Amino acid sequence: MIKKSFFSHSFDLILSQGILAVSGVLFWVIAARLYTVEGVGLGSVLISLASFLIFISSLGVLPSFIRFMPIDKDKGKLVGTLFGFSQGLLIIFVMIFLSAKGILLPKVRILNNPWNSLLFIIFVLSMQTFQILDSVFVSLQRTRLVLAKNATQYTLRIVFLFILTALGGFGIFSSNCLSAIVAVVLSAGYLLLKYKDLKIKWGFDPAILKRVLPFSLVNFLNALTLSLPGMIAPLAILSLFSEKEAGLFYIPWMMFSVYCSFISSVNNVFLMKASHGEDHPLLLKKAVTFSFILSIFGFLAFFILGDKILFLFKKDFSEHSFLTLRLLFSSIFFFVFNQIYITTLNIKKQNGRVALFAGFVLALLTILGFILLPSFGGKGMALSWLFANIMGSIFVFLLWFLKRGK
């Protein structure tokens, strides 16, 4: 096997995220042109709902593939156990939601149709598999496969947008999911044919979960902090305001989160290379340099030109979502600092500190969200995200200062 450098792996994943960014902007630009603002709002709510269900059922196991597969003697059993565990939990959570959707989210009436509910179940299971394959490929140091898989999905979902316009907001959601199904079939088939030594053992091994869950659960807290605005905020905004207001928040959040995924790619490579035993200080230096270069570029581009970029979607977004976008990108330097800190803790297996930090930021984000979102809508959620990340960075400095003083 040819050993690839930190920057080579980072470039593969960032290129994959770059294709996501371009196709994501194009996807939502086309969606905004083909569908109403309300349709965009409904589509974003369904995507957020699916993402939330997938997220809580995964319990943070996706980084566990990257952390444990390089050192695990029975990789097939690890993959089979974590995959089965996540899919089983997802089925349970989806059934609970569909049984109580009239209470939990009564405005999403489209899922009252049993056929739409069945499609929703199939789609969320496929989307979770799509995400798991990303982590498996990264753990195997096959970042080019991540690029190929994601490029397939990103391209096809735009094609499906034109085909499914008659379905309204559900067509936007279906476009995203159908394209993922095609990408999963192709990439999983390639994985099984190419890596015949990776014999996946389907089943449930409690010993693996006992070893992996402490790591995954603390990272679940951190990931919940990152994902909360994109998954929960559109649902809350729909309940408190309207589909239109949910769409006006989702588009700037989508732009911000896609850009931050570039930085997350760098941290994933940092974790992967360190898990394979490479020099930690040197990797840290590279991760910090690369991450902050991306942060500076993103801040300047979106803070200055954000309204023009939003205008590509629709005039409504340029007029009503620019402040939200600016607030989100104002947090990017604090976000980067916090994520590098968490990655270094993960490498050192300091699960307690990860839990402490992630719990602090999550609690702060939740409290601020409850206070600001009902009064200010999407802008209130963006403010909550900014303040939570600032306080997270201050929290890290306080921990460092107290440790140094001992």
Q: What is the pLDDT of residues 57-76, one digit of tens each?
A: 877 777 677 677 766 677 77
Residues 242 and 119 sit within 8 Å (Cβ to Cβ): no
Q: Which of 37-51, 258-272, 288-302 has the lowest mean pLDDT?
A: 258-272
Largest CA distance in the chain: 65
Query: Quick one: pLDDT at residue 2?
Result: 41
Around 28, how many Cα atoms within 13 Å sit in the side-chain half-sphere? 28
Spatial distance between the Cα atoms of 249 and 59, rounded to a whole number of angstroms:
26
Q: Which of 21-25, 250-254, 389-393 has the lowest mean pLDDT?
A: 21-25
Residues 374 and 381 sit within 8 Å (Cβ to Cβ): no
Q: Above 60 in pLDDT, residue 7?
A: no
- In which residue are the tokens 């069945």 written? 118
Determine the average pLDDT of the residues in 296-308: 89
- What residues does each domain of the chain span? 6-405
Spatial distance between the Cα atoms of 193 and 187, rounded to a whole number of angstroms:
10
Q: Which amino acid would we find at residue 28?
A: W
Which residue did the predictor score with more confidence, 384 or 191?
384
Of the candidates 278, 390, 395, 249, the residue with the CA atom closest to the CA atom of residue 332: 390
pLDDT band at residue 12 using 50, 70 and 90 as cut-offs: low
pLDDT tens digits, 139-179: 776 767 777 888 888 889 999 999 999 998 899 999 999 99
Query: Hey, how many other C-beta atoms are within 10 angstroms of the C-beta on 213?
Result: 17
- How far CA 1 is from CA of 4, 83, 137, 141, 326, in Å, comes to 9, 26, 15, 10, 44
Joined tokens for residue 139: 């753990």
pLDDT band at residue 277 using 50, 70 and 90 as cut-offs: low
Q: Above 60 in pLDDT, residue 212?
A: yes
- When mean pLDDT is compared over 52-56, 216-220, 326-330, 375-379, the highest value belongs to 326-330
Q: What is the mean pLDDT of the chain?
A: 80
Which residue did the predictor score with more confidence, 129 or 23?
129
pLDDT tens digits, 77-135: 877 788 888 888 899 999 998 988 877 777 788 888 889 999 999 999 999 888 888 77
Query: Quick one: pLDDT at residue 358?
Result: 78
Q: Percent of the chain, pLDDT > 70?
A: 81
Of the candidates 54, 229, 194, 73, the residue with the CA atom closest to the CA atom of residue 132: 54
Q: Percent of the chain, pLDDT > 90?
A: 17
Rounded to 5°, angle at Cα 362 from 289 and 18: 40
- How far CA 341 is from CA of 61, 312, 344, 356, 395, in Å, comes to 19, 36, 5, 12, 11
Q: Name, in order, each residue with C-beta under 8 angstroms of 206's C-beta and a sequence gap of 6 or more.
A: none
Spatial distance between the Cα atoms of 204 and 384, rounded to a whole number of angstroms:
40
Is the CA virtual torsion 97, 102, 104, 108 positive or negative?
positive
3-state secondary structure of 199: coil
Residues 4 and 138 sit within 8 Å (Cβ to Cβ): no
